[in-house]
Chains A and B, each alone.
Chain A
Amino acid sequence: MNSEANFVTLHPMDVRKPPLLRRSVLRDLFSSAGSSVATVLLAAVFLYALPKAINWVFISSVWPGGSGELCRATNGACWAFLWDKLRQILFGIYPPSEQWRPITVTILILVMGLVTLPPRYWRRWLLGLWLSGFVVSIILMRGGAMGLAYVPTTDWGGLPVTLLLAICSLGMGFPCAVALALGRRAEAPAVRYLCITIIEVVRGVPLVSLLFVASILLPLMLPQGMSIDKLLRAGIALTIFSAAYLAEIIRGGLQSLPKGQVEAAKALSLSWAQTILLIILPQAIRSVIPPLTNTAIVLIKNTSLVLIVGLYDLLSSARAALTDPNWPTPYTETYLFIAGIYFVICFGLSRYSNWIEMMLRARNGR
């Protein structure tokens, strides 16, 4: 008999330690040579940068109430500027005596946004709320009715413009997107190719070129004497842009729907419109809510591009505020503030998107 093949150990083997349920942080930080180097390097960077950052933000900085001279004298952050210019950054050159109107509009839009978040409020009345909220916002901003002074759109600016552009491009873009997505899957070749062309061309060109079309080309293409408001034109460009991107996501939802749903609707002798509205769209859209939210974030961020065609959204208003000669030009602080506003909105939405994805998955029992 081959002894090697049947080798049996003569001594009992050492008892192995049970695997750790929870590894200590220290062990993770210094688990190998590489990770030790990473720990030391990162710690060094923090130790170097943190005191400088704290000094810039808190210690050498000029707090609200300070003046431009104080800001020039120090090498810290100039928070006094932001405080002094807060109204101009947030609301642009809107007449100061009427600024309760953009404030109301901003709060109204934010409240409507918050109400929309919980899925149990996804009822038909929500659509009505958004429509009436949008109309009320426009009337409040524009005035000229119900005893409000008329304010032309050239005087609008800041956060309300950003929010209005966002909800206009998303709200009007969504029905267009549904139409494009349905058209792309239509049997009629003319409809299909038209929709494919529109979607692919819009997705293939940069948003900047669409904004050029809206701001330069569109006025040229209208008959003399006819003109469209500049802000509205940018809104149209953003709407077309979001429609093309949302359409591709909705198409994904439509494709994921089993064919039996349409056949069952036909068997119940539902009309085409009933099939689409009652059977297909509710299921298709529900399944693509997470990617829709992610695209919404991208589109909200994209509203800041209207800066390039000279419209006063949040970013441009802030840049306009920086031109005051009484103050130094604290670009860094201003951009950090603007970035903070966008971050709160977009990061909040992306967390929300994760949450809703998990909830939908749990509901579908997957």
Chain B
Amino acid sequence: MFKAFWFNRRLRSYALQVLLVGAFLSGCIWLFINAQQNLAARGITAGFQFFGQPARFPISESVIDYTPEDSFGHAFKVGLVNTLFIASIVIVAATVLGLGLALARRSAHPLLKGCASTYIEVARNIPLVVQLLFWYSLVTINLPTAREALTPIPQVFLTLRGLFFPKLELSGEISLLWWAVLASITLVTLAFIVQKRERIVEGKAPPFIRISMIVSGGLLLLAWLVGGVSARWDVPKLEGFNFVGGSALTPEFLSLMVGLVIYSTAFDGEVIRSGIDSVAKGQWEAGEALGLSKGKILQLIVFPQSLRVIIPPMTSQYLSITKNTTLALAVGYPDIAFVVATTINQTGQAVEGILILMTVFLSISLAISIFMNWYNRRISSI
């Protein structure tokens, strides 16, 4: 009986699977029961009831408004928005700079090429935490005080309290202007799509883009005049030991952004370079034979083809940039990981906090992968 069972492959497979899943689940349940007992012993009620309670800890900077009287739920939202904010800035900046870096590394100019290669090797082979702490110490210790601020550009001040720059202040009926901006963007995008399609189908197209740009310029001007908008530069001024007015980037944000951009640009640059290298040499030569300039060949022939190679590794690159923003903990920028860590410290709701952190990143990862997979399908079907 036992022998028959053992030598039946399917039965054996089923038995092993049931055993494995059973062991995994019972391990999880065991850990869960232990956690419940330990939490009960410490007087912590499990669950998300604490979400509505006031958080009572400060968040040094945030994209959306926050006060310590706000709830924990709101604090998580603030942290998440901060994470998304820094991640999107770094993704855009690192992609644009990465393209430049890839071109610099491919150029025939020996000095430029050497600088690009050196930069890539240095940035890629030093841990991100070390780089972030290095920039943070450079900003907070080696930069001058407000009185001796560096001014690389007039009215822009770099001090150990951060970067201060003028802010454009608009007064009057601004909502009309925002609608006009929205309408203009829509109009130009539509014109772009239509003109491109017309050119592909018909061979030539009316200058939709130029017309739409003129129209939107008029629209903006009209909104400006009708709304009675007036603009004013709010310039940072030195008062006491610090600057007042204008906009400011804190040292934490500055060092996190600079560190992440420098680190990610090196990786993005290598991804883009290998993508461009993957396009056959004949494509360049064919372009030259058609009399196109180097820039046009890159833009019209080589780059569209290299996207197929670039997109998959770039997706994981974007994902890792987003995950790397959690190293904000090292410099003290209040991202989602920082808020979660503070919450765990204050309330002891460790299970819930870590669950939130993981769920947030799993959903971001899923969203980016779905978007990039869709984009990749679109690209490769061309």
Most B CB contacts (10 A, CB to CB) among A188, A307, A335 go to A335
A31 touches B38 (CB 8 A): no
A209 touches B129 (CB 8 A): no
B35 CB within 8 Å of chain A: yes
Residues of B within 8 A of A187 (CB): 13
B112 touches A31 (CB 8 A): no
B111 touches A205 (CB 8 A): no
A213-B130 contact in complex given A42-B111, A220-B35, A224-B37, C-beta closer than 8 Å: no
Write the B124-157 contact mask toward A (1 if CB under 8 angstroms, else 0): 1111111101100110011000000000000000
B125 touches A342 (CB 8 A): yes
A208-B326 contact in complex given A332-B138, A342-B130, C-beta closer than 8 Å: yes
Most B CB contacts (10 A, CB to CB) among A205, A222, A301, A347 go to A205
A206 CB within 8 Å of chain B: yes
For B328, the closest partner residue in chain A by CB is A208
Tell me, in angstroms, the Cα distance from A207 to B326 when the chains sit together.
Answer: 9
A204 CB within 8 Å of chain B: yes
Find B110's partner among A25, A191, A209, A224 (CB 8 Å cutoff): A25
Tell me, in angstroms, the Cα distance from A191 to B319 when the chains sit together.
Answer: 27
Residues of B within 8 A of A315 (CB): 127, 129-130, 133
A335 touches B327 (CB 8 A): no
A206 touches B323 (CB 8 A): yes
Residues of A within 8 A of B41 (CB): 224
Task: Return B185 CB to nearest CB of chain A, in Å.
Answer: 32
Write the A16-51 contact mask toward B (1 if CB under 8 angstroms, else 0): 000000010100110100010011001100000000
A191-B38 contact in complex given A343-B126, A350-B125, C-beta closer than 8 Å: no
Task: Return B206 CB to nearest CB of chain A, in Å.
Answer: 34
B34 touches A222 (CB 8 A): yes
Tell me, in angstroms, the Cα distance from A332 to B141 when the chains sit together.
Answer: 9
Residues of B within 8 A of A201 (CB): 358, 362
A305 touches B110 (CB 8 A): no
Residues of B within 8 A of A213 (CB): 354
A29-B109 contact in complex given A205-B361, A350-B125, C-beta closer than 8 Å: yes
Find A209's partner among B16, B107, B133, B361 (CB 8 Å cutoff): B361
A110 CB within 8 Å of chain B: no
Tell me, in angstroms, the Cα distance from A332 to B39 when the chains sit together.
Answer: 43
Task: Return A131 CB to nearest CB of chain B, in Å.
Answer: 26
Residues of A within 8 A of B125 (CB): 297, 301, 342-343, 346-347, 350
B337 CB within 8 Å of chain A: yes
A339 CB within 8 Å of chain B: yes
Write the A299-311 contact mask toward B (1 if CB under 8 angstroms, else 0): 0011011011000
B142 touches A332 (CB 8 A): yes
Tell me, in angstroms, the Cα distance from A207 to B330 when the chains sit together.
Answer: 13
What is the interface size of chain A, counting residues whose CB is below 8 A from a CB of the partner? 54
Chain B interface helix/strand/loop/mixed: helix
A216-B350 contact in complex given A204-B361, A304-B127, A343-B122, C-beta closer than 8 Å: yes
Residues of A within 8 A of B354 (CB): 209, 212-213, 216-217
For B18, the closest partner residue in chain A by CB is A190
Chain B interface size band reads 35 or more
A31 touches B108 (CB 8 A): yes
Find B109's partner among A39, A206, A308 (CB 8 Å cutoff): A39
For B340, the closest partner residue in chain A by CB is A212
Residues of A within 8 A of B20 (CB): 190-191, 194
B137 touches A332 (CB 8 A): yes
Residues of B within 8 A of A283 (CB): none
B111 touches A331 (CB 8 A): no
Task: Return A251 CB to nearest CB of chain B, in Å.
Answer: 15
A35-B329 contact in complex given A216-B344, A220-B350, A343-B126, C-beta closer than 8 Å: no
Tell me, in angstroms, the Cα distance from A220 to B37 when the chains sit together.
Answer: 9
Task: Return B43 CB to nearest CB of chain A, in Å.
Answer: 13
Write the A303-339 contact mask toward B (1 if CB under 8 angstroms, else 0): 0110110000001000100000000010110011011
Tell me, in angstroms, the Cα distance from A205 to B320 when the chains sit together.
Answer: 9
Task: Return A358 CB to nearest CB of chain B, in Å.
Answer: 16
A208-B327 contact in complex given A221-B34, A222-B34, C-beta closer than 8 Å: yes
Tell me, in angstroms, the Cα distance from A187 to B12 when the chains sit together.
Answer: 13
Task: Return B130 CB to nearest CB of chain A, in Å.
Answer: 5
A223 CB within 8 Å of chain B: yes
B351 touches A29 (CB 8 A): no
A335 touches B130 (CB 8 A): yes
Residues of B within 8 A of A302 (CB): 127
Interface residues of A in 180-234 (CB under 8 A from B): 187-191, 194, 201, 203-209, 212-213, 216-217, 220-224
Task: Return B102 CB to nearest CB of chain A, in Å.
Answer: 16
Most B CB contacts (10 A, CB to CB) among A187, A206, A304 go to A206
B21 CB within 8 Å of chain A: yes
Tell me, in angstroms, the Cα distance from A221 to B35 when the chains sit together.
Answer: 4
List 9 tightest A-B contacts by C-beta distance, closest first. A331-B137, A190-B17, A346-B125, A206-B323, A301-B127, A221-B31, A204-B365, A304-B127, A335-B134
Q: List 16 A-B contacts (CB under 8 A).
A: A28-B110, A42-B111, A189-B17, A208-B326, A209-B358, A212-B344, A212-B350, A216-B344, A217-B351, A224-B41, A301-B126, A332-B134, A332-B141, A335-B137, A336-B134, A346-B125
Query: B residues engaging A (CB < 8 A)?
Result: 13, 16-18, 20-21, 24, 31-32, 34-35, 37-39, 41, 107-112, 115, 121-122, 124-131, 133-134, 137-138, 141-142, 319, 323-324, 326-327, 329-330, 337, 340-341, 344, 350-351, 354, 357-358, 361-362, 365-366
Given contacts A205-B361, A222-B31, 11 further A-B contacts (CB under 8 A): A187-B13, A201-B362, A206-B323, A208-B327, A217-B354, A220-B39, A223-B37, A301-B127, A315-B130, A319-B133, A332-B137
